[in-house]
Chains A and B, each alone.
Chain A
Amino acid sequence: MFLSSVTEHGVAPALEKTLAFQEERLKMIAENIANAQTPGYRTKQLDVTGFQNSLREAMTERRENGNVFVVENEREFGTDEYGYLTVTPSETPVENALFHDGTNISMEQQMADLAQTGLWNDLAAKLLQTKFDGLRKAIRGTV
């Protein structure tokens, strides 16, 4: 109980959810790129800005009302009964003319998203590690 209250404190839950979200996003991008030549395949997308807004709302909720940190259920993401993040990518709407084989992939967009996912993941992992390092120092009582 004590340890969970320590680890649930501060930004840790938000960072953890970010890691989980970016991992799911990586899977989605991998699927999109893998299917770049699959006839009729439509790329999938995840609403990153929407997710980050949800994180902010959850932080505000916790600070102002003392609620547990929960990502509200939206169309593309939410929280399951055990408190884990659930992610359901949606089909990217067709913006431009389809290719001959009925696909709508923009390879440039996918590669940019891939790089972005990696950077977000690095950031969240780094911050989480810093937090854990701080906790460890506090437990040991030495620097």
Chain B
Amino acid sequence: MFGALDTATSALIAQRTNLDVIAGNIAMRDVTRNESGQPVPYRRRVALMAADEARDGDVPRVRVSKVVEDSTPYGLRWDPGHMDAIREGENKGYVRVSNVDYHTEMVNAMVAARMYEANVTVAEMAKRMAGAALMLLA
């Protein structure tokens, strides 16, 4: 009876994870060093959704199957005074920066918020319908 509620809840969790990843991307955009202190900028991450096939007696769910790194190339920013600026070669004076684009992230964040809202609507409807069925007993 509450199957639809479980499906909607799984989507809420997945979308929240998605938003977490997007928040991480926005927060880390200006990071130019990796964990070990080398001048390797942050790589943008993407949450991949996957449909969980319904097992016997269970309802279909959705989940974030994995968080993958975006392999598009890093950007270059002219900043010769920066500590991590490239010292020699043709890109001398440039700093390698992450491949995060604010606009893309903001649009994706809005999509995630809308998807979250849509699933809340489904959950509300599931509650209402279960309520109507339970009222038959009253």
Q: Which residues of A contact B (CB under 8 A)?
A: 19, 22-23, 26-27, 29-31, 33-39, 41, 107, 110-111, 114-115, 117-118, 121-122, 125-126, 128-129, 132
Minimal beta-carbon separation of B59 from chain A (angstroms):
6
Q: Which residues of B contact A35 (CB under 8 A)?
A: 11, 49, 51, 60, 62
B49 touches A111 (CB 8 A): no
A117 touches B49 (CB 8 A): no
Q: Which residues of B contact A110 (CB under 8 A)?
A: 118
Minimal beta-carbon separation of B15 from chain A (angstroms):
8
Q: Which residues of B contact A23 (CB under 8 A)?
A: 1, 4, 129, 133
List 12 extra interface pairs beyond A19-B133, A27-B3, A31-B7, CB under 8 A.
A29-B122, A30-B4, A30-B8, A35-B60, A36-B115, A114-B122, A114-B125, A121-B132, A122-B132, A125-B132, A129-B135, A132-B136
B11 touches A34 (CB 8 A): yes
B126 contact from A19, A26, A39, Cβ within 8 A? A26
Task: Report how far A132 CA is from B50 CA in the complex, Å.
Answer: 44
Task: Report how far A30 CA is from B133 CA in the complex, Å.
Answer: 18
In this complex, what residue of B is CB-closest to A37?
Answer: B49
CB-CB contacts below 8 Å: B69-106 with A: none
With A26-B126, A34-B8 known to touch, is A41 a contact of B136 (CB < 8 Å)? Answer: no
For the residues of A in contact with B, the DSSP-based class is helix
Task: Report how far A107 CA is from B118 CA in the complex, Å.
Answer: 9
A34 touches B50 (CB 8 A): no
Q: Which residues of A contact B62 (CB under 8 A)?
A: 31, 34-35, 38
Q: Is B67's beta carbon under 8 Å from chain A?
A: no
Q: Which residues of B contact A38 (CB under 8 A)?
A: 49-51, 62
- Which 9 interchain pairs have the tightest Cβ spacing? A34-B11, A125-B132, A30-B4, A30-B7, A38-B49, A34-B62, A31-B60, A26-B4, A121-B129
A111 touches B121 (CB 8 A): yes
Q: Which residues of B contact A115 (CB under 8 A)?
A: 125
Q: Which residues of A contact B136 (CB under 8 A)?
A: 125, 128-129, 132
Q: Is B119's beta carbon under 8 Å from chain A?
A: yes
Q: Is B48's beta carbon under 8 Å from chain A?
A: yes
